[in-house]
Structure 1
């Protein structure tokens, strides 16, 4: 399923998205609050794109490319993905630094949530990531508590009923 907003298209990732997504996944500032905070190389980014596309072919749960409607430029990713906890899904997103602070993360994630029938959705963020916390709270997420993520790093879990 392709999701559209007034400014964005959220669509399955494609091999042609490698260069713009690699520019993001290899940027230490973009990846600082993603997973274990490490950047990805070309091969890891290509594998992620392939796996994300396969996940969306199988269901509506997975990461999507976030594309500007007016130019077709890939500016980020967003998705609802399964977690290691059975039956739990999580909202994720990341954007090129050139597009931070313009409301794209809020717009993309709101559209994903509106299109989802996943029920309760979690989000985990670094406790120091104030911008993401503000986005999530605007979307109706509330803090559940702090815990350690799969990498042993502190994380704040938020949930939207």
Structure 2
């Protein structure tokens, strides 16, 4: 990390979704995330889906701010009766320890355990974030990655 940043998490607001949509348009980020909607450029569909998430009591969605600037999102959601974590950091904030520090803070307020994280086999940065936060690789799966238009392996991590 180049310098110390003031990283804060706040409850996600409707306006934050516009920033999140723009972040996920980055092609490199899309490729690494891999498991994207079929049309990640459809802003109306994105806003509709995530607006529903804001109202869902099983989803804990937070906005990550760095020195007061929106830098990403982090959330816990339920998939197949298990708590999962997801996060997205704006490309310009990569490599600064933002995701790791945000996830550590998030895990203080989100007490679901075990909690899982899934990551594309070649998304080494995200794998490191999970490992630095105490997640352990517990398995692998395969799925169709819309961002790559092919089936790929994903690693499954768990924090107990």
Q: Which band: TM-score by shorter chain?
A: 0.7 to 0.9
Conserved in 2, the CA contact under 8 Å of 1:13 and 1:52? no
CA distance in 2, matches of 1:149, 1:92: 17
1:126–1:155 contact (8 Å) kept in structure 2: yes
Report the aligned-residue RMSD. 2.1
Find the counterpart in structure 2 of residue 139 from structure 1. 133
2:11 is aligned with 1:21: no
Matches of 1:90 and 1:36, distance apart in 2: 14
Change (3 A) 1:14 1:40: farther
Of the three residues 60, 63, 66, the one matched with 2:61 is: 63
Flag the 1:45–1:146 CA change in 2: closer, same or farther, 3 A.
Answer: same
TM-score, normalization by structure 2:
0.82
C-alpha change, 1:125 and 1:140, in structure 2 (3 Å) is: same
Count of residues paired in the alignment = 149
After superposition, where does 1:74-93 map in structure 2 within 5 Å?
74-83=70-79, 85-86=80-81, 88-93=82-87
Instruction: Measure the CA separation in 2 of the matches of 1:48 and 1:11.
Output: 20
Which whole-Å CA distance do the structure 1 matches of 2:90 and 2:22 have between them?
8
Residues 14-64 of structure 1: per-residue CA shift (max 9 Å, x gap): 222243222112222222233524534211221233123112xx25x3322
Larger relative contact order, structure 1 or 2 (CA cutoff 8 Å, min sep 6): 2
Q: Partners of 1:11 and 1:47 in 2: how far apart?
A: 21
Gapped regions of structure 1 (runs ≥ 5): 1-5
Greater strand fraction, Structure 1 or Structure 2? 2
Q: What are the ranges of 5 or more consecutive residues in structure 2 without an aligned counterpart?
A: 146-150
Confirm or deny: 8 A CA contact 1:76 1:95 kept in the other structure: yes
Q: Measure the CA separation in 2 of the matches of 1:131 and 1:115.
A: 23
Deviations 1:103-134 (A, max 9, x none): 11001111111212211111000011111111
